[in-house]
Amino acid sequence: MAPFDLVSALVGGALIGLAAVLLMLLNGRIAGVSGILGEALTGDDRGWRVAFLIGLVAAPLLLGAAGRPPPMPWMPSSFAIVIAAGLLVGFGTRLGGGCTSGHGVCGIARLSPRSIAATLVFTATAIVVVAVMRHGFGG
C-alpha cells in the first residue's frame, strides 16, 4: 500500500467538507451517507438522494477513466464476516442516526454533542474490534 501522504489526506478531506457545505447551502441537507441511503430505501423524496449516491459511485470511476484509478479495496476473504459487518453497519448507523460522514464530519463541524458522543463511541468500538482481530485478546 502507498505510504501515508499528508497532502492527499488533507485535500481529499477538504473535498468531503466542501461536498457537505454545498449540499447544505444548495439543498439544505446534511451529507450523511447512511441517512441518505436509508431514506432512499425507505422514505420519500428519493430523487436527490439517489443522485448523490450515483455521484459517489461515479467519482472513483471518473478518476479511473482519467488514468488515476483508486486501488482495489482489500476485503476479508470470509463472506460471513463481510455480510455480518454489512448488517451491523446498516442497522447500527440507522439506529444511531448517522455514520462517519453524518456524525463524524457534519455533526462535529457544527459541534453537536450527540455527534461527538457517537463518533467517540463508534471509533472506540472499532479500535477494540481491530485490536482483538489483529492482536488477539490482551494484545
Partner 1 sequence: MPTVLAALVSGLIFGFGLAISGMTQPTRVLGFLDVLGIPSGTWDPTLAFVMIGALAVAAPGYLLTQRRERPLFAEVAAWPTKVEIDRPLIAGAVLFGLGWGLVGLCPGPAIANLGTLSSRVVAFVVAMAIGMLALDFWRRSRTRAYPAE
Residue numbers 62-81 binding partner 1 by CB under 8 A: 62-64, 70-76, 79, 81
Q: Grid coordinates in use for 3?
A: 505510504
- Least distance in angstroms from the C-beta of 91 to partner 1: 4
- Least distance in angstroms from the C-beta of 136 to partner 1: 11
Q: Grid coordinates in use for 92?
A: 447500527
CB 49 within 8 A of CB 40: yes
24-53 footprint of partner 1 as x/- string (CB under 8 A): xxxxxxxx-xx--xx--xx----xxx-xxx
CB 101 within 8 A of CB 16: yes
Residues 5-24 close enough to bind partner 1 by CB under 8 A? 5-6, 8-24
CA 43 from centre of chain: 20
Cβ distance to partner 1 smaller for residue 44 or 135: 135
- Least distance in angstroms from the C-beta of 3 to partner 1: 9
2 part of the interface to partner 1, by CB under 8 A: yes
Q: Distance (Å, rounded) from C-alpha 51 to C-alpha 72?
A: 24
Cβ distance to partner 1 smaller for residue 51 or 67: 51
- Least distance in angstroms from the C-beta of 67 to partner 1: 13
Q: Distance (Å, rounded) from C-alpha 100 to C-alpha 78?
A: 24
Contact partners, residue 69, CB within 8 Å, separation at least 6 = 60, 63
104-123 footprint of partner 1 as x/- string (CB under 8 A): xxxxxxx-xxx--xxx-xxx
